Chain A
Amino acid sequence: MLEKALTGSGKYWGWIFFLLAVIGVGFIFYLQQLSYGLGITGLSRDVSWGFYIAQFTYLVGVAASAVMLVIPYYLHNYKKFGRITVLGEFLAVSAVTMCILFIFVDLGQPFRVMNVILHPTPNSVMFWDMIVLLGYFMLNIVIAWATLGAERKSAPPPAWIKPLIYLSIPWAVSIHTVTAFLYAGLPGRHLWLTAIMAARFLASAFASGPALLIIICLIVRSQTRFDPGKEAIQTLAKIVTYAMLTNVFFLLLEFFTAFYSKIPGHMQPLQYLFFGLEGHGKLVPFMWTFVVLAVVGLGLLIPPSSRSNENLLAVAAIAIVVSTWIDKGMGLVVGGFIPNPFEEVVEYAPTLPEISITLGVWAIGFLVLTVLFKVAVSVKEEAAQ
C-alpha cells in the first residue's frame, strides 16, 4: 500500500519537500546540539526540562486521543466513525513517533539510550513510559494497516485484529496515565504533585487530539475526493466540547486547592504562571492567551448553532489545539520547575536552535502523518469508486 504515497500532485510533493526542508534545518541544529551539548538550549540546572519535554507531554495526549474514535466505532458500533477511525489511529502513530523523538533529542547522552533496555528498572516510571509508548505505537500501526488493507480488498478486517483493538483501548489510557505519573510522583514539585494529574492529562488529551483531527479532516476534505463525513466531524466536535469543559474544570480545581488552602508551595507555581512571581513573569502572556483561547473555543463549541458551522468549528478547533498546547506543554512543564527547590525564581525561554530542532521533529511527525494519510485516503478514494 505504501506505493500510494509515491504518487501525488505537485501540491503534495511541494508539501513533502517543504517538510523535508524543515527537517533538514532541524537536523543541522541537532548536529550542533550533539557536538556542543544541551547547553545550546535555554535549559539550566533550575529548569532542567523545557520545550522538548513540553512537546512530548502534549503529543502523548494527541496519541492517546485515538481512543475517542476507537471506543464509539468498535464498542458502540457508531458507523459514522468507520470512515475516520483509521485516520485517528494514524494520527496516533505520528504523534508517538514525535514523542519518542522528543525524548531522544532531550537526552544528554543519546547514544546510550539502549541502557534503558539493558538495565531494566521497573521502579522508574520512565521505564514504563517507554514500554507503553512502544506498545501503543505497534498496536496502532498494526491495527490501522490491517484494517486499511482489508478495506482495499473490500474484505472484512481479519479476526485476529479484534483482541488487539480491545487491548488498544486501555493501552491508550495507560500511555497518558504513565506520562502523568512521570510528574505526579515527585516530592517537592508542588505543581505536579496532584492526584488529578492523570485525569487532567486525559481530559486535555481528549480535547486536543480530536480538535487536531477536526482540523485535519477539514483539510483532507478540501484537498482530496475523500469526505470524512459531516456527522463524524460534528461528533468529534461534541467530544472536544465535553473534554475541554472537563479539562478547564480540573484546572479550576487546582486553583481552588492552592488558593483556598493558601499553602505557599502550592500557590507559587500558579502565581508564577498566571500573575508573575517576584517580578518574573515571562509565561504570563502565554498563560492568558491560553485562557482567552480556551474561552473563545468553548464559546464557539458549546452553542449548537456555532458548533455546526464548519468555519466557526475550524476556528474553535484551532483555539483548542493552541490553548491546550500552551497549558499542558509549556505551562505545566516549565511551571513545575518554578520556583526551584530553594524557592528562587529562575526563568526559562527556548533558544533558536531549540525551536528549530522542535520544528524539525514536528515536521518528521507531519511527514509520517502525510504519508500515512496519503495511503489511507488513496485507498478510501479507490474503494469509493
Chain B
Amino acid sequence: MGCKRREFLKIAGLSTLAGLAGKSAYELLAPGELEASQFMSGGQALEAERWAMVIDMKKCSEQEECRDCIDVCRHVHNIPDFNNPKDEIKWIWKSPFQHAFPEQESEFVEEKLKELPFIVLCNHCKNPPCVRVCPTQATFKRKKDGVVMMDYHRCIGCRFCMAACPYGSRSFNWRDPRPFVNKEEGNPEYPTRTKGVVEKCTFCDERLAVGKIPACVEACKEKVLVFGDLDNPNSEVRELLRTNYTIRRKPELGTEPSVFYIV
C-alpha cells in the first residue's frame, strides 16, 4: 500500500471536484434537452422519434359546433374555467383561419376558410423558442420524442416563454386555478397547478407513458386529429403528409412546428 493518507485525500478531493465540474459542464453544454434514460419507461409506453399531429380541417369544418377535443382536454388536465379572457388558460382551442394564419391574410381568401375555426395548440416545435429562453429549463424539449414539456415545480413564472412563443400557445396562472376546476368533471390522476406558473399542451405525455394516445385525438369521432411519429416513414402522419397538401403556422420563423394542417 503505497498510498499515504494525505495522497489519498488529495486524489479523493480532486476526483470529487472533477466529477462536479464534469457534471455541471455537461449540463451547461446540453441545456434544455433531457436524455430518454432519465425517464422511466413502463414497458407499455408509446414511443416515437418525434411526435407530430396532422389536423384535417376539411373533416373538422363539417362539424363546426363540435368541441369534443377541447372539452376532453379541459377535463383530463383539470384546466380551470375563469369565464373571463384576462385569466384564461388554454391548451387546445379554436381560432379563425385569418388569426391562426395571419401571414396568409388576403382579402380574397376562400369565403368559407376565412372565418373557419382552426384547432390550435402547442406546436411542439423542433426549434422551440420557449425552451431557448427559459432561464431554469422548466420548459424543455424531450430528447427521446421531441415533446416540449413543462415542469410546473421548477417554473419561476418569469413568462419569458410567453413572450418568446410566436403562437400564443402558453398560458399563465394569474391566480389560484384550483377553485375554478370543475370538481365533478375533474381528473384526480392529473395534477392541478399552482398560481404563478406557465402551462400548455404537452401532447398528453402522461398518457403516452402508459400507452395511450393524446386525449384529444382519442376523443375526435371524425378522426380529424391524427397523431404519430414524424420520423417514421411508415407512420400514419407521414402517409397523410405524403398524400395531402398541408400547412404549418408561421413556418417562416424557422421553429419547425410538429402540427400540420390539411386545408
State the CA gap A119–B27 with chains docked (Å).
9
Of all chain B residues, the one with the shortest Cβ separation from A341 is B168
Asked if B32 CB lies within 8 Å of chain A CBs, one says: yes
State the CA gap A226–B260 with chains docked (Å).
69
Asked if B197 CB lies within 8 Å of chain A CBs, one says: yes
Write out the residue numbers on chain A whose beta carbons fall within 8 Å of the beta carbon of B176: 36-37
Q: A37-B175, A37-B176, A49-B159 are in contact. Are A188 and B166 (CB under 8 A)?
A: yes
Asked if B61 CB lies within 8 Å of chain A CBs, one says: no
Write out the residue numbers on chain A whose beta carbons fall within 8 Å of the beta carbon of B165: 188, 341
Of all chain A residues, the one with the shortest Cβ separation from B166 is A188
Write out the residue numbers on chain A whose beta carbons fall within 8 Å of the beta carbon of B254: 187
Please count how many residues in chain A sit with their CB below 8 Å of the partner chain's CB atoms: 48
Write out the residue numbers on chain B whose beta carbons fall within 8 Å of the beta carbon of A112: 136, 154-157
State the CA gap A202–B28 with chains docked (Å).
30
Interface pair A188/B250, CB less than 8 Å apart: yes
Q: Of B134, B166, B194, which is within 8 A of A187 by CB?
A: B166
Interface pair B163/A115, CB less than 8 Å apart: no
Of all chain A residues, the one with the shortest Cβ separation from B155 is A109
Write out the residue numbers on chain B whose beta carbons fall within 8 Å of the beta carbon of A121: 31-32, 134-137
Interface pair A126/B158, CB less than 8 Å apart: yes
Of all chain B residues, the one with the shortest Cβ separation from A124 is B135
Interface pair B196/A108, CB less than 8 Å apart: yes
Interface pair B163/A48, CB less than 8 Å apart: yes
- Chain A 26-42 interface residues, beta-carbon cutoff 8 Å to B: 36-39
Interface pair B28/A107, CB less than 8 Å apart: no
Write out the residue numbers on chain B whose beta carbons fall within 8 Å of the beta carbon of A189: 163, 166
Q: Of A45, A108, A186, A346, which is within 8 A of B197 by CB?
A: A108
Interface pair B163/A109, CB less than 8 Å apart: no
Interface pair A106/B158, CB less than 8 Å apart: yes
Interface pair A342/B129, CB less than 8 Å apart: no
Of all chain B residues, the one with the shortest Cβ separation from A343 is B102
Write out the residue numbers on chain B whose beta carbons fall within 8 Å of the beta carbon of A125: 133
Interface pair B159/A48, CB less than 8 Å apart: yes
Interface pair A124/B133, CB less than 8 Å apart: yes
- B90 CB, min distance to chain A CBs, angstroms: 7
Asked if A150 CB lies within 8 Å of chain B CBs, one says: no
Interface pair B160/A182, CB less than 8 Å apart: yes
Interface pair A342/B138, CB less than 8 Å apart: no
Q: A38-B196, A124-B134 are in contact. Are A188 and B154 (CB under 8 A)?
A: no
Interface pair A108/B136, CB less than 8 Å apart: no
Write out the residue numbers on chain B whose beta carbons fall within 8 Å of the beta carbon of A37: 173-176, 195-196
Interface pair B173/A45, CB less than 8 Å apart: no
Of all chain A residues, the one with the shortest Cβ separation from B24 is A120
Q: Of A43, A126, A346, which is within 8 A of B160 by CB?
A: A126
- Majority secondary structure, B binding face: loop
- B31 CB, min distance to chain A CBs, angstroms: 5
- Chain B 219-263 interface residues, beta-carbon cutoff 8 Å to A: 250, 253-255
- B124 CB, min distance to chain A CBs, angstroms: 16
Interface pair B157/A107, CB less than 8 Å apart: yes
Asked if A340 CB lies within 8 Å of chain B CBs, one says: yes
Asked if A231 CB lies within 8 Å of chain B CBs, one says: no
Interface pair B172/A340, CB less than 8 Å apart: no
Interface pair B134/A344, CB less than 8 Å apart: no
Of all chain B residues, the one with the shortest Cβ separation from A112 is B156
Interface string of B183-208 (1 = CB under 8 A from A): 00000000000111110000000000
Interface pair B195/A45, CB less than 8 Å apart: no
Interface pair A45/B255, CB less than 8 Å apart: no
- A282 CB, min distance to chain B CBs, angstroms: 15
Asked if A385 CB lies within 8 Å of chain B CBs, one says: no
Q: Which of B3-11, B35-43, B81-89 contacts its partner?
A: B81-89
- Chain B 73-107 interface residues, beta-carbon cutoff 8 Å to A: 85-90, 95, 99-100, 102-103, 105
Write out the residue numbers on chain B whose beta carbons fall within 8 Å of the beta carbon of A383: none
Write out the residue numbers on chain B whose beta carbons fall within 8 Å of the beta carbon of A346: 85
Of all chain B residues, the one with the shortest Cβ separation from A115 is B136
Interface pair B100/A342, CB less than 8 Å apart: yes
Interface pair A186/B87, CB less than 8 Å apart: no
State the CA gap A186–B134 with chains docked (Å).
12
- B170 CB, min distance to chain A CBs, angstroms: 8
> Other CB < 8 Å A-B pairs besides A37-B173, A38-B196, 7 of them?
A39-B86, A44-B174, A45-B90, A107-B156, A109-B196, A110-B157, A342-B168
What would be 28 A-B contacts, judged by CB atoms less than 8 Å apart? A36-B176, A37-B173, A37-B175, A44-B85, A45-B86, A48-B159, A48-B163, A49-B159, A103-B158, A108-B157, A108-B158, A108-B173, A109-B156, A109-B194, A110-B157, A112-B157, A115-B138, A115-B156, A116-B135, A121-B31, A122-B28, A124-B134, A188-B167, A188-B250, A336-B163, A341-B165, A341-B166, A343-B105
Residues of A within 8 A of B (CB): 36-39, 43-46, 48-49, 103, 106-110, 112-113, 115-116, 118-127, 130, 182-183, 185-189, 264-265, 336-337, 340-344, 346
Residues of B within 8 A of A (CB): 24, 27-28, 31-32, 85-90, 95, 99-100, 102-103, 105, 129, 132-138, 154-160, 162-168, 170-176, 194-198, 250, 253-255
Q: What 3 A-B pairs come out closest when comparing CB atoms? A: A108-B157, A188-B166, A108-B196
